[in-house]
Amino acid sequence: MGFRKPTTVAQVTEAVRKSDPLARPVVTLGVGSGRHPFLYALLSGGIADGDSFFVTLTDRSVLFHEVASAGYRPGKLRYDIEHEQFRARIGEVRRRVLWSIFRFRFPGESEAAWLNVQRAWRPEMDRFLDVLDGYRLGAEATDGRSS
């Protein structure tokens, strides 16, 4: 099981190779969807489901792998989204002390989902957004002192 971040990133890199052998991973982060991450974490007991993803920015696209329920490992590839489409679908970004969030409209959905990023993944989130064509945490982001 990849409960340590380096182990998890290595497992996700292997899953990316299986999903798209030509892709080169740039940055990976773990996210969970939903409006209330603390409540979700309490109710789920830390068990992942189809609403938790490993998001990997590659040189070719952005990949969303489900977090497998049998440990904190990458599961099935759920979405493979081109960079331009991803940029068009991302919304509000909020940097917070424990949980940072950004809104993203998944393909086939009419409303954007809240994607929650734990503090441990925040540096990867910042790098992810910066690398994705210079998307900056400036005017689009708030420090998140209020919800």
**pLDDT tens across 114-128, in order?**
999 989 999 999 999
92 and 103 Cβ atoms separated by less than 8 Å? yes
Of residues 77 and 137, more confidence is placed in 77
Print the SS3 string covering 54-81: EEEEECCCEEEEEEECCCCEEEEEEEEE
CA 19 to chain CA centroid, nearest Å: 17
Alpha helices in the chain (DSSP H): 5-19, 37-44, 83-89, 122-131
126 and 137 Cβ atoms separated by less than 8 Å? yes
Of residues 41 and 29, more confidence is placed in 29
List Cα–Cα distances, 52 to 24, 133, 134, 137, in angstroms. 22, 25, 26, 23
pLDDT category at 71 given cuts 50, 70, 90 is confident
List Cα–Cα distances, 98 to 79, 143, 144, in angstroms. 27, 11, 10
**What pTM value is reported for the model?**
0.81
Work out the mean pLDDT of the chain and round it to a whole number.
82
pLDDT tens readout for residues 1-11: 446 889 999 99
